[in-house]
Chain A
Amino acid sequence: DAGVTQSPTHLIKTRGQQVTLRCSPISGHKSVSWYQQVLGQGPQFIFQYYEKEERGRGNFPDRFSARQFPNYSSELNVNALLLGDSALYLCASSFGTRDRGYEQYFGPGTRLTVT
């Protein structure tokens, strides 16, 4: 089975622009989470979605938004980009239920550079 896939792999944007990152979960997984990882730090939780509903939100400004589609893929949108938004954006999927397991499987990430 394919793992979690993310697109694009790399992205360069200018301050003030908007960006959309995409994630396809592992087949059968209904939960998708997004993380931001700044160089040298651990991943920081942004959002979690399960069955198209937002289940959790981290301490990020409203410029960050996300959604999950009926096929369980997800998009992360960031508006009004700041230099500090430059980071590796990681998507993780899981079954998200007690009986199927909570382990999160991460994709390779999207490297966003804001200039």
Chain B
Amino acid sequence: LAKTTQPISMDSYEGQEVNITCSHNNIATNDYITWYQQFPSQGPRFIIQGYKTKVTNEVASLFIPADRKSSTLSLPRVSLSDTAVYYCLVGDPNSGTYKYIFGTGTRLKVLA
């Protein structure tokens, strides 16, 4: 299973764009990349999922280079409420041992 590496923490200011990069050098051909957000004492919340190139939804964008060995979650114009832990995961949903491996995540702190 691919292991992910993310920065432990990041600080940003309200209104700025935040980019969190995740390294997954051993990603397999059938693995998808998924990002989750988690607030204290709550379950993780799905943000975005992609396989290659760029994916965008109403809350974030996910950039995946051609070699897929890394990915970048982009949060436009963050607010104080975006302060949370962000997890990058890789996994093959179609495998017989479908499971997601969460790392330690990136603690994002948004400052006023």
Q: List A residues at the B interface (Cβ < 8 Å).
A: 4, 33, 35, 41-45, 48, 50, 55-58, 88, 90-92, 96, 98, 102-109, 111
Q: Is A98 a contact of B44 with CB atoms below 8 Å?
A: no
Contact B43 A90 (CB under 8 A): yes
For the complex, what is the distance from the CA of A90 to the CA of B39, rounded to whole Å?
A: 13
Q: Digitize B69-112: 1 where CB-to-A-CB distance is under 8 Å, 0 elsewhere.
A: 00000000000000000010000011011111111110000000
Please name all residues of chain B whose beta carbon is closer than 8 Å to the beta carbon of A45 when the two chains form the complex: 99-102
Contact flag A55-B98 (CB < 8 Å), given A42-B87, A103-B49: yes
User: Number of A-B pairs whose CB atoms are under 8 Å?
Assistant: 61
Task: Classify chain B: how many residues form its interface, as a range.
Answer: 20 to 34
Contact among B42, B45, B103 for A42, CB-based, below 8 A: B103
Q: Are B94 and A98 touching (Cβ within 8 A)? A: yes
Q: In the bound complex, how far is the Cα of B44 from the Cα of A104, in angstroms?
A: 9
| B102 close to A109 (CB less than 8 A) | no
A14 to B: closest C-beta gap in Å: 23
The docked-state distance in angstroms from the alpha carbon of A82 to that of B59 is 40
Q: Please give 18 more A-B residue pairs, beta carbons under 8 A apart, in addition to A4-B43, A56-B96, A106-B44.
A: A42-B102, A42-B103, A42-B104, A45-B102, A50-B98, A56-B99, A58-B99, A92-B44, A98-B93, A102-B34, A102-B49, A103-B34, A103-B49, A106-B45, A107-B43, A109-B41, A109-B42, A111-B41
Q: Is the pair B100, A104 in contact by a Cβ cutoff of 8 Å?
A: yes
Cβ of B13 within 8 Å of any chain A Cβ, yes or no, is no
